[in-house]
Structure 1
């Protein structure tokens, strides 16, 4: 049972979030609020309120980040209007984005005169507000927003289909599982909303060009801080959660490995330690390759080595293998190949249930490879594959919208009612509970963004930091197959990439509109009379300033 410190940490977290938003920029504070809440708040601690969402480790950081981000943005816009400065949305590039992280650009000596001249010009020409350079045009709506809203809408609507197809109870000897009731639909919808809150934070507030670099740095820095606690538990046993919060969040036997201990710190399982360290290693390695100064590259190289060493001693074989695979992509592949590699893995993950159903996944070969490393790991992997086969047969009975809640997708003994199933992979959990509709919606949000960036790379030209963040997301996608690691940091990364994709597309349309080019449905310029340079000559208008030339 959680002690008083656990509840104090949970319900006192808004004070931590308020400090972060006061101390850091909006992007940095939003990222830190989600990551610190995930890493340090206690598991299995919360208050289940009627109708309202459960206040726990998953919901508290995201709700705090949304509230304080909205308040800070409103305050900044109000101050900008009072100063007479132009209001720029969260998706637009500003001068601050081109300065080192966390530093504000020093005001030039000519700034007061420029602001005075701009104010006078706006008073003289009211229509000047409608013409702005492409780099500062507001990005209020992303072209990909319709697809995101469509996927989320279908996901929420699927709960109605789940209710209609699961209106009878299930009986296994003495065990009786209830039917899906009408008031279970709002509960399932609310669970989806809470799950997607970090995605919304990334999509809404991490769209600027600096967002990917900020997120990579925060992942690496929080990983370095957490690695110190991981090394402590490697030596002293996983006891921090028990000492501070008064309970152990999982089975202690599962955290004894190879004559030592697998650390857990404040997370739900030691496997989640492994995948977060993998995120941090890949983020630090990407920064080591991309930073401009030799001193910064050296520091991020040291962080990469320290994090990789910590991951090796944490006894997470799967996360270590994923990290080594992705490090090969970081250091050996050109940018285009990195996107192609990430898009290929994303497509495999998206259609993995179909591949398992038609038995094209080489499970026997994978078990043999694992046996060469560790017989114990091979036995564990083979057990997972066997459980997936049983659960797939169960899910095939309700393939459209799944079995719903109350553990109805699990397999039980017909006489004793004993639970015979073990659900490890995130994909089989969603596929069994929500069917093809729920699975394709959730994994579509996760897997489609690397594919879309790859298909539109030439037009969008994503930055190297964006591609580095794509590789971090790809590592998380691979881990979703064997483990239940669909955690808030992964949703935050996904939302940030969707936001960057929308901002890049919007920038293209803004530039085309600024040049008088009519975009087609794909965001490309449409050939025709308007795109002819000879027809772009217009009569000068003294009441309308001329647009700034392209760089």
Structure 2
């Protein structure tokens, strides 16, 4: 049960977000209001207010930040991007729930006693409003973090955030994951799942140890990207940060997250921007075609389980459990493949005799498929993958080679999306990076931003203008909302 401090922090965070927008440059406010909100607010808690959907740590900073930023700009920040593909994908994401409700008006009968209700128009509105939380992050970053300097600031802030976050992580590795309970009065997940390899893996204020592991893995790789992009005198500090965070990642005791970093770090160190862009695109194709590959049994699940068994019988059992449940849930999803089953547990698999739910949903892809069908899956994953597929074409229009920095960020984003196949580790960070990359590439295609390789850090502080709100004009007086 959350304590009073948990409710207080959730209630006060909109005011903290407002203070950031009033006192900080717009880019800094967008980045740190979302990063700090996600890393510090209590996980697994919903603040229910009359007449509005439940507010969580994922959507409180984004929704309020979206309206604060729009007020400063004097217009609503568009949720729909400029590219045709982006418009279609946003349309799928926002209109798909309407068709899901239309095709799911019938109840689902389970056994003799249980009935899952049919969906109503209210459910469509609720589903669309829930999408707005993540879309607002994506729209904010696409609007505000849409040039190379802003993208580098985002990457730098993320790595610095995890350098600081590593301190409570190391504390929990040694003392056990207790900070969430000690500060907010409850534990957001199963404590037993935080015990691994004779010790503990950290969770701090996130949803699960897997979440903190994949984000740490991303921070390791992004530190390498920053090192390659930095001025000669600053490279060593970022390589040192990457090495330190790699040690922290090992202590997170997540094999998949560690493999991502170990396999991709040499590529991020050595490959050209064009080659890195191709790697990111290949991972993107895998993610987008995964439901079809699983439907046609192309993925060698048995071989993957056997390979995992050579390392650990426990890991092999866990992987096999995931694949078995994916098969059950995919079979259920294919009964309504276009728009899915919607909510209320209608997408789950139940024992026909007892009515007990016998399925477990782990990967975000199968959740999206069961909930919204191919329309929901393509809308969500296509939108996140859009900047990865745009990267090479956007640079080709400029007549220059793909930037190693932009391609490196694309690879790290692709890694996060690949991890959404076995896990549901989507976070505000995922949408933040996808939106910033898309905004940068959209402007690049129109020739509105440069492609130079000089890092932002090389610009002296005295030469950087101060800004008020989002209008990008030098400020002489106080920042205001009007």
The alignment's TM-score, normalised by the length of structure 2, stands at 0.88
- Which of residues 219, 227, 236 is equivalent to 1:288? 227
Decide whether the 8 Å contact of 2:273 with 2:405 is kept in 1.
Answer: no
**Equivalent position of 2:5 in the other structure:** 5
Residues 64-143 of structure 1 correspond to what in structure 2 (within 5 A)?
A: 64-73=64-73
The 2-side partners of 1:287 and 1:318 are apart by 23
Deviation at 1:50, TM superposition (A): 4.8
Distance change >3 Å, CA 40–CA 466, structure 1 → 2: same
**Equivalent position of 2:61 in the other structure:** 61
**Equivalent position of 1:448 in the other structure:** 386
Deviation at 1:160, TM superposition (A): 1.9
The structure 1 segments of at least 4 consecutive aligned residues displaced by more than 4 Å after TM superposition are 71-74, 140-143
Is 1:233 aligned with 2:233? no
**Higher RCO by CA contacts (8 Å cutoff, separation 6 or greater):** 2
SS at match of 1:183: helix
- Which of residues 186, 190, 193 is equivalent to 1:251? 190
Is 1:203 aligned with 2:142? yes
- In structure 2, list runs of 5 or more residues that go unmatched: 451-482
1:264-286, Cα deviation, whole Å (9 max, x unpaired) = 11111110000110121111111
Decide whether the 8 Å contact of 1:142 with 1:503 is kept in 2.
Answer: no
- Which of residues 295, 307, 312 is equivalent to 1:369? 307
- Which of residues 210, 217, 221 is equivalent to 1:271? 210
- Which of residues 325, 348, 353 is equivalent to 1:415? 353
**Equivalent position of 1:42 in the other structure:** 42
Decide whether the 8 Å contact of 1:343 with 1:454 is kept in 2.
Answer: no
**Equivalent position of 2:416 in the other structure:** 476
SS at match of 1:176: strand
Deviation at 1:328, TM superposition (A): 2.5
- In structure 1, list runs of 5 or more residues that go unmatched: 78-89, 91-139, 511-551
Distance change >3 Å, CA 399–CA 262, structure 1 → 2: same
**Equivalent position of 1:489 in the other structure:** 429
- Which of residues 149, 166, 181 is equivalent to 1:242? 181
The alignment's TM-score, normalised by the length of structure 1, stands at 0.77
SS at match of 2:446: helix
Decide whether the 8 Å contact of 2:272 with 2:404 is kept in 1.
Answer: no
Decide whether the 8 Å contact of 1:143 with 1:506 is kept in 2.
Answer: no
The 1-side partners of 2:258 and 2:165 are apart by 17
Decide whether the 8 Å contact of 1:274 with 1:314 is kept in 2.
Answer: yes
1:48-89, Cα deviation, whole Å (9 max, x unpaired) = 345423222121110232233334556xx9xxxxxxxxxxxx
**Equivalent position of 1:502 in the other structure:** 442
Decide whether the 8 Å contact of 1:403 with 1:409 is kept in 2.
Answer: yes
The 1-side partners of 2:261 and 2:23 are apart by 33
The 2-side partners of 1:227 and 1:303 are apart by 11
Is 1:219 aligned with 2:158? yes
Bigger Rg, structure 1 or 2: 1
